[in-house]
Amino acid sequence: MAMSIQYLLVAAGFTLALLTIANAIRSYYRLSHIPGPPLAAFTRLWLLSGLLGTRNHLNLHEANLKYGSLARTGPNHLTTSDPELFRRMNAPRSPYRRSPMFEAFRFKPGSDNVLSERQEEKHERLRRKMAAGYAGKENPRLENDIDERIQDLISLIERKYICTEKAPGIQMDFARKIQFFTLDVISALAFDQPFGDLIVDEDKFDYIKCTEEAMPMMMLMTELPEVRSFLEKSSLVKLLAPSATDKIGLGKIIAIGKEKVGERFGDGRKVKQDMLGSFLNHGLSQEEAESETLLQLLAGSDTTATAIRATILFLITTPRVLWRLRAEIDEAVHKGSISSPIKDSEARALPYLQACIKEGLRIFPPVTGLFDKVVPPEGDTFNGLFLPGGTEIGISFWAVHRSINVFGPDANVFRPERWLDVPEAQLNKMERNNELIFGYGRFKCLGQSVALVELNKVFVELLRRYDITLIDPSKPWSSVNEGIFLQQDMWVRVTRRGGGMD
CA distance 92 to 468: 44
- Give the residue ranges of DSSP H helices in 31-136: 45-52, 56-67, 83-90, 120-135
**Contacts with 272 (C-beta within 8 Å, 6 or more apart), sequence order:** 192, 264
pLDDT at 110 over 90: no
Distance of CA 489 to the CA centre of its chain: 20
In terms of average pLDDT, the best of 221-225, 404-408, 480-484 is: 404-408
How would residue 1 be classed by pLDDT, with cut points 50, 70 and 90? Answer: low
Least confident range of 84-98, 188-202, 211-225, 234-248? 234-248
Q: What is the pTM of this model?
A: 0.92
CA distance 89 to 98: 9
Average pLDDT value for residue range 72-100? 97
**Angle at the Cα of 68 from the Cα atoms of 62 and 74, rounded to 5 degrees:** 70
CA distance 486 to 459: 21
Average pLDDT value for residue range 60-86? 97
- Return the bridge partners of 392, or none: 77, 374
What pLDDT does residue 380 have? 98
pLDDT at 502 over 50: no
Task: Report which DSSP code applies to 484.
Answer: E
CA distance 306 to 311: 8
CA distance 395 to 470: 33
pLDDT at 108 over 80: no
Residues 297-341 pLDDT 10s:
878 899 999 999 999 999 999 999 999 999 999 999 999 999 999
pLDDT at 501 over 60: no
Mean pLDDT, rounded, of the chain: 90
Average pLDDT value for residue range 350-374? 96
What pLDDT does residue 60 have? 96
Task: Report which DSSP code applies to 56.
Answer: H
Q: What letters, b where the CB count within 10 A reaches 16 and e where it falls short, cover 444-478?
A: ebbbeebbbbbbbbbbbbbbbbbbbebeeeeebbe
- Give the residue ranges of DSSP H helices in 223-302: 225-233, 236-240, 249-262, 275-281, 286-297
> Which carries the bigger pLDDT value, residue 136 or residue 327?
327
How would residue 54 be classed by pLDDT, with cut points 50, 70 and 90? Answer: confident
Residues 425-475 pLDDT 10s:
999 999 999 999 999 999 999 999 999 999 999 999 999 999 999 999 999
How would residue 251 be classed by pLDDT, with cut points 50, 70 and 90? Answer: confident
> Which carries the bigger pLDDT value, residue 22 or residue 356?
356
What pLDDT does residue 274 have? 85
Neighbouring C-beta atoms of residue 386, cutoff 10 Å: 13
pLDDT at 59 over 50: yes
Q: How far is CA 29 from CA 23, 247, 280, 340, in A?
A: 10, 52, 50, 62
CA distance 24 to 270: 58
Q: What percent of the chain has pLDDT over 70?
A: 92
pLDDT at 286 over 70: yes
Which DSSP string do the residues of 347-375 spell out, in sequence order? Answer: HTT-HHHHHHHHHHHHHS-SB-----EEP
Distance of CA 463 to the CA centre of its chain: 25
Residues 17-43 pLDDT 10s:
554 565 567 667 899 999 999 999 999
**Contacts with 121 (C-beta within 8 Å, 6 or more apart), sequence order:** none
Long-range contacts of 320-326 (CB under 8 A, 24+ apart): 321/356, 321/414, 321/415, 321/416, 322/463, 324/352, 325/352, 325/353, 325/356, 325/416, 325/459, 325/463, 326/463, 326/464
How would residue 16 be classed by pLDDT, with cut points 50, 70 and 90? Answer: low
Neighbouring C-beta atoms of residue 21, cutoff 10 Å: 10
How would residue 7 be classed by pLDDT, with cut points 50, 70 and 90? Answer: low
Host H or E run for residue 462: helix 448-463
Residues 375-418 pLDDT 10s:
999 999 999 999 999 999 999 999 999 999 999 999 999 999 99
pLDDT at 78 over 80: yes
Strand 392-395 to 77-80 pairing? parallel
What pLDDT does residue 500 have? 44
What pLDDT does residue 27 have? 67
Residues 147-204 pLDDT 10s:
999 999 999 999 999 999 888 999 999 999 999 999 999 999 888 889 999 999 999 9
The answer to whether residues 269 and 263 touch, using CB atoms and an 8 Å cutoff, is yes
What pLDDT does residue 3 have? 56
What pLDDT does residue 17 have? 56
